[in-house]
A and B are shown apart, each in its own frame.
Chain A
């Protein structure tokens, strides 16, 4: 892969050299290092966010296509680039985005205008900020901080504010009901999710996500990953992740058959699009974290002794994220929506006891010679 990327790397080096010269010329030798550092971090952020936005756009297309096939339909197949037939459907996300971009933003009468417009921002902020510590490769991580697992939990727990503020500021009964449902649901499932992460940090002996993946290294490929010793926590995390992102079958916050569209019923145009982006970015985030913590991140599923296939690579992470995200879509096409009291019961009376029990089992297991997942 490095051979293919070589021209780009050389080009990058050349462009960076040019930038360094310009910055030194403008700011002088004293200020230049800090200015360059800021520019570098900004460029890296763009390198993460831009592909993420493209991934979000095409995830919507993949969702419609996949669910279409599952229900023996075709899915979007009309909008194409430059009228080329066999690209049919591929331009659909771009057409949708453009449509939402040029639509009017309607602020309902009696709504709190500032909070109404702040809500989508509050929804997408955590969905993007959490990516700062996600490792794509041992070296490819924006901020390799020591407590990245804690950071992820803290940042993602702020995502519910967008929904609550939207529900309240819209001055609408349906939006308010959606917000209330969502607040209770997210607070409940966050506990189960947090306990699942406790198991991960116990097994990895670290709060750092890079170390978590390193803890899953070994010569047996996918048998070394944490999904085996932490299987109940893996399931808990995956299902709580679906509930946290308000996806079907836990989408009572939107519940279009009961409360129209829930918390974003009053939103139109770009404000609605931002909520949409946040939901899909969160989906990709949860899938990525699931892949990093339980499915070995960038590690190969094949034994390390195999040539090429056994080597760790960023592409493995992409494949895993794609499979986990597709499971999310599969769930949506398969299960009917949970009733509200069933959701609460599942969160409090099933997942939390299961996670707590497994943490105790894990603690005992790690003290015995039967624990074979040491680094």
Chain B
């Protein structure tokens, strides 16, 4: 076993363990933290595949931003496990269907050689100055510029929609208008009243 293989199997074992704990952990915060571990480990495996841009983007986007917000929400929720279990039977059939689809997909991918699919040859070794990031940028902005732009527009629509959801005004919420706060002058708030001092008896 070469050092490379050893690293791969180590990372794969950690990844499988973390992924299992995500669905078996009782505490939702522990589950979310195991998901973070799973993301970080798969980033390590991607680096072994020389896909360093994707690996760093995975850590940056999912570990650094998405999971932070996820944890943020999970920590604040009051999760009642007994109430969550109530709907178990109702969702069982749907869950079983999804699981079945996943199993079929995995069988097709992993057992490709039994269905007449031959594995693609390993990619040729890359030169030392090969830049994964530059190559990806070149592809995305030249050959695949239209799909990329369409994806960007869809994301923009999602952003606008998410912001629009927060725009409803609630009566009990108090807003502060910084422009008005800054524009306040002394005479608006303080009135100096001159009063004669009380007469001494």
Which A residues fall within an 8 A CB radius of B?
34, 115, 145-147, 150-151, 153-155, 157-158, 160-161, 164-165, 168, 176, 179-180, 183-184, 186-187, 190, 207, 341-342, 345
For the residues of A in contact with B, the DSSP-based class is helix
Give me 30 A-to-B residue pairs in the complex whose CB atoms sit less than 8 angstroms apart, sorted by A's number. A34-B3, A146-B52, A146-B131, A146-B133, A147-B53, A153-B56, A153-B60, A153-B64, A154-B56, A154-B57, A154-B59, A154-B60, A154-B63, A157-B63, A157-B65, A158-B59, A158-B64, A160-B64, A161-B68, A164-B68, A164-B71, A164-B72, A164-B75, A168-B75, A179-B75, A180-B72, A183-B68, A183-B71, A342-B178, A345-B178
Q: Which residues of A contact B76 (CB under 8 A)?
A: 180
With the chains together, A147 CA to B176 CA distance in Å?
42
In angstroms, Cα B75 to Cα A18, docked, is 55
B168-201 contact mask (Cβ, 8 Å, vs A): 1 or 0? 0000000010100000000000000000000000
**Complex CA–CA separation, A115 to B34 (angstroms):** 12
Contacting A at CB under 8 A, from B71-116, are 71-72, 75-76
Residue B12 interfacial (CB < 8 Å):
no
Q: Are A150 and B60 closer than 8 Å at their CB atoms?
A: yes
Nearest CB in chain A: distance from B158 CB, A? 16
Q: Which residues of A contact B56 (CB under 8 A)?
A: 147, 150-151, 153-154
- Give the Cβ gap from B179 to chain A, nearest Cβ, in Å: 11
Chain B residues, Cβ within 8 Å of A160: 64, 68
Which of A160, A342, A345 has most B Cβ within 10 Å?
A160
B157 at the interface (CB under 8 A from A): no
Residues of A contacting B19 in the complex (Cβ-Cβ under 8 angstroms): none
Complex contacts, A115 vs chain B, CB 8 Å: 33
A165 to B74, CA, bound (A): 12
**Contact A190 B176, CB 8 Å, known A164-B71, A184-B72:** no
Please name all residues of chain A whose beta carbon is closer than 8 Å to the beta carbon of B29 when the two chains form the complex: 168
B176/A341 in contact, CB under 8 A:
yes
A151 to B55, CA, bound (A): 10
Among A147, A164, A165, point to the contact of B52 (Cβ < 8 A).
Answer: A147
- Secondary structure at the B interface, as helix, strand, loop or mixed, is helix
Contacts of A186 in B (CB 8 A): 68
Is B36 an interface residue, CB under 8 A from the partner? yes
In the complex, what residues of A have CB within 8 A of residue B65's CB? 157, 187, 190
Q: Which residues of B contact A146 (CB under 8 A)?
A: 52, 131-134
Q: Hey, which chain B residues are within 8 Å of A176, CB to CB?
A: 75
Q: Is B69 an interface residue (CB 8 A)?
A: yes
Nearest-neighbour CB distance to chain B for A38, whole angstroms, equals: 10
B60 touches A157 (CB 8 A): yes
Q: Mark B32-65, 1 if CB is under 8 A from A, else 0.
A: 0100100000000000000011001101100111
State in angstroms the CA–CA spacing of A146 and B132 once bound together.
Answer: 9
Nearest CB of B to A161, in Å = 7
Q: How far is the CB of B18 from chain A (nearest CB, A)?
A: 14
Given contact pairs A147-B53, A154-B56, A157-B64, a sample of 19 additional A-B residue pairs in the complex whose CB atoms are under 8 Å apart: A146-B52, A146-B133, A147-B52, A147-B132, A150-B133, A154-B60, A154-B63, A157-B63, A157-B65, A158-B63, A160-B64, A161-B68, A164-B72, A183-B68, A183-B71, A184-B72, A187-B69, A190-B64, A342-B178
Q: Which chain A residues border B75 with CB–CB below 8 Å?
A: 164, 168, 176, 179-180
**Interfacial chain A residues near B131, Cβ < 8 Å:** 146-147
- Chain A residues positioned under 8 Å from B132 (CB to CB): 146-147
B residues near A180, Cβ cutoff 8 Å:
72, 75-76
Q: What CA separation (Å) do A182 and B131 show in the bound complex?
A: 35
Q: B residues within 8 A CB of A158?
A: 59, 63-64
Closest to B130 in A: A146
Flag if B63 contacts A183 (CB, 8 Å): no
CB distance from B137 to the nearest CB of A (A): 10
Minimum CB–CB distance from B35 to chain A (whole Å) comes to 12
The chain A residue with its CB closest to the CB of B129 is A146
Residue of B nearest to A147 (CB): B133
